[in-house]
Amino acid sequence: MPYPKVSIIFCVKCKWNLRSAWYVQELLQTFGTELKEVSLIPGEPGEFKVLGYEIEDSSPILIWDRTEDEGFPDSKFLKQRVKILLFKDVIAVGAHIDRDSKSAIDKETLVSAAPAKTVKCSVDEQNTSCTDCET
Instruction: Give the DSSP per-residue string, 30-42.
Output: HHGGGSSEEEEEE
> pLDDT, tens digit, for every residue of 46-67?
999 999 999 888 899 999 999 9
Contact 55/3 with Cβ under 8 angstroms? yes
What is the model's pLDDT at position 113?
Answer: 44
- Cα–Cα separations (whole angstroms), residue 94 to 28, 41, 59, 84: 10, 26, 27, 14
- Please report the pLDDT score of residue 110 as a whole number: 44
Whole-structure pTM value: 0.71
Pick the CATH number of 5-113 from 1.10.1040.10, 3.40.50.2000, 3.40.30.10, 3.40.50.1000: 3.40.30.10
Tell me what percent of the residues of the chain surpass a pLDDT of 90. 56
Residue 16 DSSP label: -
Angle, CA 84 vertex, CA 83 and CA 90 arms, to 5°: 65
Query: Could you tell me what percent of the chain has a pLDDT over 70?
Result: 65
Pick 6 or 106 by higher pLDDT.
6
pLDDT at residue 94 greater than cutoff 80: no
Kindly state the average pLDDT of the residues 22-36: 95
Which of 70, 73, 75 has the alpha carbon at shortest distance from 31? 75
Higher pLDDT, 115 or 78: 78
Identify the pLDDT of residue 86: 86
Distance separating alpha carbons of residues 100 and 115, to the nearest angstrom: 24
Tell whether omega for the bond before 4 is within 30 degrees of 0, i.e. cis.
Answer: yes
Confidence of residue 115 (pLDDT cuts 50, 70, 90): very low
- Indicate the average pLDDT of the chain: 78
Domain boundaries, the chain: 5-113
Instruction: Write the single-letter amino acid at 52.
Output: G
